[in-house]
């Protein structure tokens, strides 16, 4: 399958902004997704962006997409301790209409 790459760890102080980065290889992706997984829980769909958009904002979340560089980022403004979780970037696998290619996940730790 296609590769989705993310950095593994990020630590920020409460109140700061967090930026989680992702690169992908499949240029035919129509949508790109961000999921959040808290310890012991399932994956929560946070947001997604259409491939024809550069930016999407949803309250404290801002998604930026650079199609030329195949780079996706998730910015969390005013990060709170409740934002501590693993964040997965995902894009649909082109060989299958169903499967999602997940990155390895970025573990975000928010310290007081």
Partner 1 sequence: DTEVTQTPKHLVMGMTNKKSLKCEQHMGHRAMYWYKQKAKKPPELMFVYSYEKLSINESVPSRFSPECPNSSLLNLHLHALQPEDSALYLCASSPGGTGGGEQYFGPGTRLTVT
Residues that bind partner 1 (CB under 8 A): 30-31, 33, 35, 40-45, 48, 88, 92, 96-100, 102-105
CA–CA distances in Å: residue 105 to residues 8, 21, 52, 87, 108: 6, 10, 24, 5, 9
| Nearest to partner 1 of 15, 50 (CB atom) | 50
| Nearest to partner 1 of 24, 88 (CB atom) | 88
DSSP string over 33-79: EEEEE-TTS-EEEEEEEETT-SEEEETTEEEEEETTTTEEEEEESS-
3-state secondary structure of 11: strand
| Nearest to partner 1 of 74, 92 (CB atom) | 92
CB of 77 to partner 1, least distance (A): 23
CB of 59 to partner 1, least distance (A): 18
CB of 43 to partner 1, least distance (A): 4
| Nearest to partner 1 of 76, 90 (CB atom) | 90
CA–CA distances in Å: residue 44 to residues 3, 47, 59, 69, 95: 21, 9, 16, 27, 24
CB of 9 to partner 1, least distance (A): 11
């Amino acid at each position: 399958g296609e590769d989705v790459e993310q950095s593994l760890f990020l630590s920020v102080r409460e109140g700061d902004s967090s930026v989680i980065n992702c690169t992908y290889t499949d240029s035919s992706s129509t949508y790109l997704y961000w999921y959040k997984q808290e310890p012991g829980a399932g994956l929560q769909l946070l947001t997604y962006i259409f491939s024809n958009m550069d930016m999407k904002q949803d309250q404290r979340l801002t998604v930026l997409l650079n199609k030329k560089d195949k780079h996706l980022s998730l910015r969390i403004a005013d990060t709170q301790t409740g934002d501590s979780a693993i964040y997965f970037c995902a894009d649909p696998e082109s060989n299958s209409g169903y499967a999602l290619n997940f990155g390895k996940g970025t573990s975000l730790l928010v310290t007081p």
